[in-house]
Amino acid sequence: MDVFGGIKKNNFVVVGRVGLDLFPTEVGIGIEEATAFTKDMGGSSANIAAGIVKLGGQAALVTSVSDDAVGRTCRTMLRDTYGVDDTYVTTVGGEARNSLALYESRIKGHQSVIYRNGAADFEMTDADVQAVDYTRFGALVTAGTVFAAEPSRTAAFKAFQLAHEAGLPIIFDVDYRPYSWPSPQVAADVLSRAGAMSDVIIGNDEEFGFMAGGIEKGLDKARDLAASTATIVVYKMGERGAVTITKDGELRTGIYNVTALKPTGAGDSFMAGMLSSIADGYDLEDAVLRGSACAAIVVGKPGCAPAMPYPAELTEFLNTHPGPSSPRTEG
């Protein structure tokens, strides 16, 4: 399978949720003090898809939304505001509801509250993923929350199978959110299974450590995946930068330091920036650094999808920023 060739088609099928974000319109205050809120599209997979499109690529989302005003709002913003193809978005009735994220644009005392009970995206079925024409796309992208409940879990694994059969590489952001899972043991087993089926795996040190049974084992887990099944593994370490591992070796990169307004959205923007940069012909090291720059841009602005950069914004940031920090070499 030509992983880089698939990414360079710059046309992605993204599996996972779209939700609604609410954040205080005024920067720096808590939810308790806020009197006005801004609404926008959210959800890890939808954010990744929006980031890819804003950077010049194409993306279609596969998910389910609720049959109510919130579900319709999410779908409309996905399509009309961010230009993501909603052909494979289905509507489910009953008591299913779209996820809601309520978070603050501040670092000190930051609160991010996620409402996921009876989430509509967990209602995605085998039939939904089998309706996708995978030959339209160059690669499949998803995030770990899609595996947290049934029937979405089985459907997502079916999507992996169908994508592989169509020759598409699988790009997987571990994205472990404990509140979505029935138990840590189930999460570790399922996420490890998904990782073993993936060609590109992105996660932070805690997520790899979680899959390995201890944070001190996380880097070895990442290395094992790169040596056995994956073409690219990106092991993120927060302010210490990242280790990108391939069968050719390891490269370490730093981060772009900024004055952050919030921690949310960085991982989604990193993914979109890295994939878009590979698609645009940048080598892997530059693609990882450009993904890090996209993450820095997003944490420096309110919102997630609306904060993700267009190409001109990314270029301006890279031209005016003093540059990435030196990569840390400690484990």
DSSP states of 172-191 as a string? EE----GGGSS-HHHHHHHH
In contact, 22 and 38? CB cutoff 8 Å: yes
Number of domains, the chain: 1
Asked if the structure places residue 109 within a domain, the reply is yes
3-state class of 93 per DSSP?
coil
- Per-residue pLDDT at 327: 83
What is the average pLDDT across 285-293? 98
* Cα angle, residue 39 at apex, residues 103 and 21 outer, rounded to 5°: 40
What is the average pLDDT across 191-200? 97
pLDDT (tens digit per residue) in 267-280 = 999 999 999 999 99
pLDDT band at 21 (very low <50, low <70, confident <90, very high): very high
Asked if the structure places residue 258 within a domain, the reply is yes
| H or E segment and range at residue 35 | none
pLDDT (tens digit per residue) in 144-165 = 999 999 999 999 999 999 999 9
What is the average pLDDT across 40-67? 98
Would you put residue 199 in left (φ > 0), alpha (ψ -120 to 50) or beta? alpha
Domain that holds residue 76: 3-320
Residue 272 CA to residue 53 CA, distance in Å, equals 9
What is the DSSP pairing of strand 19-24 with strand 100-103?
Answer: parallel
Find residue 245's DSSP bridge partners. Answer: 233, 250
User: What does the CA dihedral 289, 301, 299, 85 come to, rounded to 10 degrees?
Assistant: -70
* Predicted TM-score of the model (pTM): 0.97
Asked if the structure places residue 187 within a domain, the reply is yes
pLDDT (tens digit per residue) in 219-261 = 999 999 999 999 999 999 999 999 999 999 999 999 999 999 9
CATH code of residue 248: 3.40.1190.20
Please determine, for residue 330, whether its predicted confidence score (pLDDT) is greater than 70: no
Asked if the structure places residue 144 within a domain, the reply is yes
Of 51, 46, 47, 58, residue with least CA distance to 7? 58
What is the average pLDDT across 129-157? 98
Q: Judge residue 299's burial from the number of C-beta atoms within 10 Å of its C-beta, 0-12 exposed, 13-18 middle, 19 or more buried.
A: buried
- Per-residue pLDDT at 328: 67
Please determine, for residue 15, whether its predicted confidence score (pLDDT) is greater than 60: yes
What is the average pLDDT across 307-331? 90
pLDDT (tens digit per residue) in 59-114 = 999 999 999 999 999 999 999 999 999 999 999 999 999 999 999 999 999 999 99
Asked if the structure places residue 331 within a domain, the reply is no
pLDDT band at 331 (very low <50, low <70, confident <90, very high): very low
Please determine, for residue 329, whether its predicted confidence score (pLDDT) is greater than 90: no
Asked if the structure places residue 327 within a domain, the reply is no
Asked if the structure places residue 326 within a domain, the reply is no
What is the average pLDDT across 107-122? 94
Asked if the structure places residue 325 within a domain, the reply is no
The mean pLDDT value of the chain amounts to 96
Percent of the chain at pLDDT exceeding 90: 97
